[in-house]
Amino acid sequence: STSARGEGRRAARSLDQKEKERGYGYTEVRSIRLVDGTETDLTPSIKYVSPDDNNPDDRTVMQVSTPSPVPPGATVRFKIDWTSHVPHGDVGRAGWVHDYFFIVQWFPKIGVWWKGAWNAHQFHPWTEFFADYGVYDVR
């Protein structure tokens, strides 16, 4: 990822299964559905984009296409099936040691439509996230 590249920890690429098992943190989206009376599966339209540095291996910004444009001021609902792994140890934004858990920014968030464009940046190690208000029912 671009975050890993920025920290100099390892090559900027997606985690393989052995790295996941060793304890790197990650969030993986399995499916996303638009809830609009029925549930429209948007999963086939998932595309990972890297607007900041064009890193093809970065998977921190996901783009999906809705069947029709969302009108200004409208509300939309999504159902997202996802998994998040909290790594063991001190890793800055998330981790656990003994019975202490530090967990922030741990679930997928919707980008912000700002001044006529999406403001959704890749995860960089020394920056903050930009998120809009929303109601998240996390189970």
- What does the pLDDT look like over 66-93, one tens digit per residue? 999 988 888 899 999 998 888 888 666 7
Residue 25 within a domain: yes
User: 3-class SS at 131?
Assistant: coil
Residue 129 within a domain: no
Question: Measuring CA to CA, which residue among 135, 105, 137, 104 is closest to residue 121?
Answer: 105
Residue 35 within a domain: yes
The three-state DSSP-derived secondary structure of 62-111 is: EECCCCCCCCCCCCCEEEEEEEEECCECCCCCEEEECCEEEECCCCCCCC
Tally of structural domains, the chain: 1
DSSP secondary structure code for residue 121 in this structure: P
Residue 108 within a domain: yes
Whole-number Å distance between alpha carbons of 89 and 103: 12
Residue 133 within a domain: no
The one-letter amino acid code at 7 reads E
pLDDT digits (tens, 9 = 90+) for 46-70: 999 998 899 988 888 999 999 999 8
pLDDT digits (tens, 9 = 90+) for 12-35: 455 566 555 556 778 899 999 999
Domain of residue 27, residue span? 2-119
Residue 84 within a domain: yes
Q: Does this model's pTM top 0.85?
A: no
Whole-number Å distance between alpha carbons of 62 and 112: 13
